[in-house]
């Protein structure tokens, strides 16, 4: 841990160089003169220490940015039907009327491109370095490609077509138009396949105990998700199977352990905040001194749970306030400074079973799909009987989507993305938000500052 913190500190110094020379560059897709501000050149990547430091800086920039530590789990939840807010904050997300100058929307965009720039710098710098072993070069390339793919996954699923920035030439980057989402997905898949080939199967890069840096199976897990979203059922099943069959991960009967640093379900986690708590718990769990609800579950999300489901009793909590009983997400529970009791869990094995179940159902394999569904939905784990419903494709797929809703709620935008990719957003949200929902709201607006700075960017319809 001390070594990791040393690397993070050194990495942040290097990343600080980026901010000093191009403070606004990341939100403007890097607009300054490349001759003076191309910061992480191959000269920086002369030995493993500097590369390790820069990788740590990339992860810490990703983790400590608000979108990737909090907003990507709550804002899409507001946009969908799983979260609401007690008060007037976030009404633009709840009502699907996000203005083009919204600071949170801008933060997702700018933070993502900031991290992409760092990843691009690592990829080009490592390739141009002669002072690294082949093994370490592969490790660095694999992690940078994985992180770049992760950022592009969220960008394209939130905004649709987005600029595909793959280099560090700031003059070029500042003039890139929106790239079709299909091409962005092709790059995501390409990056993840290369990351798979470069990265080790174990967690030696993060000390062997923690799972805080991408390995081969983190790349496979995200690749399985990308294939699922592209309706590539065969490859989605194959990638999910490779993770499931690795024997590194298991579904614990004790649901309180899933989001802890010792989680056996976690495929990839990010460190918590500097104070030892997650931003999710810090914001969502009511202050024990003056308990007031803020981020709470919608009645639709509460109703999605079957009575007796341990996920409801373990992963949600309630507070009685002003004669109303509110339920709120309780997956991250600890708000004790310095506790380090929970890490941000980015990828976990439960999702892989659900990916494979859906891919199998789509390929006409209901028995295989139900088998995977029952790995999640069984008496030992969630306190409910195994699935005993109809076995036709539509029924099985409906059961899988219901399971995703109660398993992955308030995590990384899963519900919002599920409604969009299954083309059910209009029917579901149109019924639940009849006065505010419009079909164009399935995409977030491109921040207006980006359009001003890059005339080649065109706004999404409806904004």
Residue 222: closest CA among 179, 261, 168, 267? 267
Question: Looking at residue 297, which CATH number applies to its domain?
Answer: 1.25.40.390
Specify the 3-state DSSP secondary structure of 380: helix
Q: Tell me the pLDDT tens digit for each residue of 159-210.
A: 999 999 999 988 888 899 999 999 999 999 999 999 999 999 999 999 889 9
303-318 pLDDT, tens digit each? 999 999 999 999 999 9
**Per-residue model confidence (pLDDT) at position 49:** 87
The bridge status of strand 266-270 relative to strand 324-329 is: unpaired
Q: Is residue 281 one of the residues assigned to a domain?
A: yes
Whether 70 is covered by a domain: the verdict is no
Residue 318, domain member (yes or no): yes
**Banded pLDDT at 131 (limits 50, 70, 90):** confident
CB under 8 Å to 170, separation ≥6 — which residues? 22, 25, 30, 31, 32, 33, 34, 37, 38
In a domain, 186, yes or no: no
Domain count, the chain: 1
Question: Would residue 272 count as lying in a domain?
Answer: yes
Instruction: Give the Cα separation of 23 and 20 in Å (integer).
Output: 6
CA–CA separation, 414 and 419 (whole Å)? 9
Rounded Cα distance between 192 and 184, Å, is 12
Domain annotation covers residue 77: no
Predicted confidence band of residue 42 (pLDDT cuts 50, 70, 90): low
The answer to whether position 168 is within a domain reads: no
Mean pLDDT of 320-331: 97
| pLDDT at 25 > cutoff 70 | no
**Residue 15, pLDDT above cutoff 70:** no
Which domain range does residue 279 map to?
247-414
Give a yes or no: residue 78 inside a domain. no
């Amino acid at each position: 841990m001390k070594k990791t913190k040393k690397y993070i500190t050194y990495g942040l110094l290097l990343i600080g160089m980026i901010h000093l020379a191009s403070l606004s560059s990341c939100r403007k897709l890097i607009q300054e003169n490349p001759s003076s501000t191309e910061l992480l050149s191959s000269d920086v990547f002369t030995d493993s220490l500097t590369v390790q430091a820069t990788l740590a800086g990339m992860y810490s920039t990703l983790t400590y940015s608000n979108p990737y530590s909090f907003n990507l789990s709550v804002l899409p939840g507001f946009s969908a039907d799983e979260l609401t807010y007690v008060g007037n904050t976030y009404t633009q997300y709840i009502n699907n009327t996000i203005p083009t100058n919204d600071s949170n929307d801008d933060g997702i965009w700018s933070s993502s491109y900031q991290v992409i720039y760092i990843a691009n710098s690592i990829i080009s710098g490592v390739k141009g370095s002669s002072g690294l072993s082949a093994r370490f070069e592969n490790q660095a390339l694999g992690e940078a490609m994985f992180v770049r793919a992760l950022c592009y996954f969220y960008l394209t699923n939130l905004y649709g077509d987005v600029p595909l920035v793959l280099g560090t030439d700031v003059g070029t980057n500042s003039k890139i138009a929106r790239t079709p989402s299909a091409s962005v997905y092709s790059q995501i898949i390409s990056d993840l396949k290369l990351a798979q080939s470069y990265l080790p199967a174990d967690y030696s890069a993060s000390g062997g105990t923690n799972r805080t840096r991408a390995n081969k199976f983190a790349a496979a897990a995200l690749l399985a998700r990308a294939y699922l979203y592209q309706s590539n059922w065969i490859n989605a099943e194959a990638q999910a199977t490779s993770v499931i069959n690795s024997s590194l991960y298991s579904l614990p009967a004790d649901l309180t352990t899933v989001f802890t640093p010792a989680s056996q379900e976690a495929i990839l986690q990010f460190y918590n905040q500097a104070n030892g708590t997650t931003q999710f718990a810090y914001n969502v769990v009511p202050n024990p001194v003056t308990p007031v609800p803020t981020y709470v579950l919608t009645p639709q999300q509460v109703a999605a749970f079957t009575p007796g489901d341990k996920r409801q009793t373990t992963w949600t909590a309630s507070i009685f306030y002003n004669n109303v009983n509110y339920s709120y997400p309780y997956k991250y529970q600890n708000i004790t400074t310095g506790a380090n009791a929970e890490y941000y869990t980015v990828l976990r094995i439960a999702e892989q079973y659900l990916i494979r179940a859906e891919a199998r159902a789509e390929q006409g394999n209901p028995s295989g799909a139900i088998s995977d569904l029952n790995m999640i939905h069984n008496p030992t784990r969630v306190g409910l009987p195994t699935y005993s419903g109809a076995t036709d494709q539509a029924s099985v797929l409906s059961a899988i989507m219901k399971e995703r809703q109660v398993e992955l709620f308030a995590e990384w935008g899963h519900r919002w993305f599920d409604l969009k990719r299954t083309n059910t957003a209009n029917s579901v949200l149109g019924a639940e938000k009849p006065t505010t929902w419009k079909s164009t709201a399935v995409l977030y607006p491109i921040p207006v500052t980006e359009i001003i700075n890059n005339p080649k960017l065109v706004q999404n319809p409806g904004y």
